[in-house]
Amino acid sequence: MTSLRVAAARLASSFSESCQWGATPDGGMNRLSLNDDDRRVREWFVEQVNACGCTVKVDQMGNIFATRPGKNNSLPPIGMGSHLDTQPAGGKYDGIVGVLSALEALRTIHDNQLETYAPIAVVNWTNEEGARFPPAMLASGVWGGAFSLEHGHSRSDASGKTVKSELERIGFLGDTECSYEADPLSAHFEVHIEQGPALEAEDLRVGVVTGVQSMNWYNVVLRGREQHCGTTPMNMRADTLLCAAKMIQSINAQALSLPGSLASVAVINSTPQSINTLAGRVQFNIDARASSNELLAQLEERLEAACREIAGNDGVKIEVWDRIWRCPKTAFDETAVEMVRRSAREVESGKFKEMISGAGHDSVYTARKVPTAMIFIRCKDGISHNPVEYSSQEDIQAGANVLLGAVLRYDEFLKNNHQSK
């Protein structure tokens, strides 16, 4: 089992084949969920898994489960999943690495005529990015019980098209119920690019991901006073945008002073958009994360106190301070992580890093229902959600081999566990 390795050349050609749909001239990808390129790559994916003796199920959210039978088909399959959709100005690796590595692991099992104990499934989750249909991780969220099917179906893009109508249009509105209960897995393993610089900094190919950090999003609305920029003395203003600018700096400073935490402001909107009228209303969002729920609670307290002090000094009112999304720390399953660790130890001769994920992934929602673990691979300069996003084929290959080894080890674990009962 441990000597099995994926076919590097075939894995590499999966990228050149499948990334023809959505490729952009700058070397990046624009394959927004459920567009025509997403349809084409889904059709390609189904062809590939059919060639490996899989049965294909498409659920009500368009998630594709390609299952290769094992010895004991009363067990739910061990899943290997990620996503084929991208950001509008994204790269060829985020998500895509996970699905193509899983496909390659499946092909390797199939080529070696390996009979696994449990069935093995490759899963392509719909709309992980949430770039076209917010929020992110939508369809794994429905499967994992975080969102209702109705919520998932009714999400719409900027032009008003819904997930359901677009699933129907591209022929991927399946009839399998989208839920763990109706369509279970035994476990979920996911390879993903790190999207950060830690592995590169330590010259490592592979990370064993033990969990996902605690994450909160906030919506903040400030109200100052619309005043004429030319006639209002500098010391008689309630300048809402100036106040927001001070907050943005302070939010950054708070996270810098609290090791293990991150805080970022990326979205801002000021009204009225008039060059000579001071903004009277400014909206912005905060993305705050920390390695533990406790640390994030501490960060939240500091951010709010700092912003309230700034607003008070500036004569600006905080009209809205809402936590609009909360995703507590996810600790991955110990056994699933151990199988990844053992596999990484063997494939990478002990050279890997244990880490937590800074970003959310489909595995956050599968972890609500089934033993889950993730494998990170190195990506250049830590850049992601950008056309220059890059991971080498050698690193992708290492990740696929760790995935293969982890799944086969988990299958062995299921077999021993089941037979000992």
What residues between 330 and 369 interact with a second copy by CB under 8 A?
Answer: 357-360
Q: How far apart are CA 52 and CA 116, in angstroms?
A: 14
The 100-139 site mask, x for binding a second copy (CB under 8 A), equals: -------------------------------x----x---
- Give yes or no for a contact between 81 and 143, defined as CB atoms under 8 angstroms apart: no
Minimum Å gap between C-beta 301 and a second copy is 19
Minimum Å gap between C-beta 324 and a second copy is 9
Interaction of residue 53 with a second copy, rule CB under 8 A: no
Interacting residue with a second copy among 178, 265, 398, 408 (CB under 8 A): 265
The 197-226 site mask, x for binding a second copy (CB under 8 A), equals: xx--------------x-x-x-------xx
- Applying CB under 8 A, the span of 8-16, 24-32, 179-187, 248-256 interacting with a second copy comes to 248-256
Residues that bind a second copy (rule: CB under 8 A) add up to a total of: 64
The one-letter code for the residue type at 401 is N
| Residue placing its CB nearer to a second copy in the complex, 64 or 377 | 377
Interaction of residue 275 with a second copy, rule CB under 8 A: yes
What residues between 167 and 186 interact with a second copy by CB under 8 A?
Answer: none
Q: Please work out, in degrees rounded to the nearest 5, the angle formed at the alpha carbon of residue 67 by the alpha carbons of 74 and 81.
A: 115
| Residue placing its CB nearer to a second copy in the complex, 24 or 252 | 252
| Residue placing its CB nearer to a second copy in the complex, 234 or 350 | 234
Q: How far are the Cα atoms of 216, 260, 268, 287, 296 from residue 326, in angstroms, in the given order? A: 5, 18, 20, 10, 11
Interacting residue with a second copy among 83, 289, 302, 353 (CB under 8 A): 289
Interacting residue with a second copy among 149, 170, 268, 318 (CB under 8 A): 268
Interaction of residue 158 with a second copy, rule CB under 8 A: no
Q: Please work out, in degrees rounded to the nearest 5, the angle formed at the alpha carbon of residue 4 by the alpha carbons of 3 and 10.
A: 140
The 383-412 site mask, x for binding a second copy (CB under 8 A), equals: xxxx--------------------------
Coil/strand/helix, residue 415:
helix
Residue carrying the six token digits 């089941």: 418
Q: How far are the Cα atoms of 184, 247, 283, 305 from residue 240, in angstroms, in the given order? A: 51, 11, 10, 18
Interacting residue with a second copy among 4, 8, 248, 318 (CB under 8 A): 248
Nearest alpha-carbon partner for 323 in 224, 220, 419, 176: 220
Beta strands at 330-331 and 187-193: parallel, antiparallel or unpaired: unpaired
Interaction of residue 241 with a second copy, rule CB under 8 A: yes
Q: How far are the Cα atoms of 67, 163, 173, 184, 209 from residue 393, in angstroms, in the given order? A: 26, 33, 33, 32, 20
Half-sphere exposure of 130 (CA within 13 A, CB side): 12
Minimum Å gap between C-beta 277 and a second copy is 5
Interaction of residue 194 with a second copy, rule CB under 8 A: yes
Q: How far apart are CA 202 and CA 353, in angstroms?
A: 9
- Give yes or no for a contact between 185 and 317, defined as CB atoms under 8 angstroms apart: no
Interaction of residue 283 with a second copy, rule CB under 8 A: no
Q: Which helix (H) or strand (E) holds 416?
A: helix 393-420
Interacting residue with a second copy among 9, 51, 182, 267 (CB under 8 A): 267
Give the tokens for residue 360.
């959310």
Greatest Cα pair distance in the chain: 83
- Give yes or no for a contact between 81 and 366, defined as CB atoms under 8 angstroms apart: yes
Interaction of residue 230 with a second copy, rule CB under 8 A: yes
Can you give the binding site for a second copy, defined by CB under 8 A?
A: 87-89, 131, 136, 194-198, 213, 215, 217, 225-236, 239, 241-242, 244-246, 248-249, 252, 255-256, 262, 264-268, 270, 272-280, 285, 287, 289, 357-360, 382-386
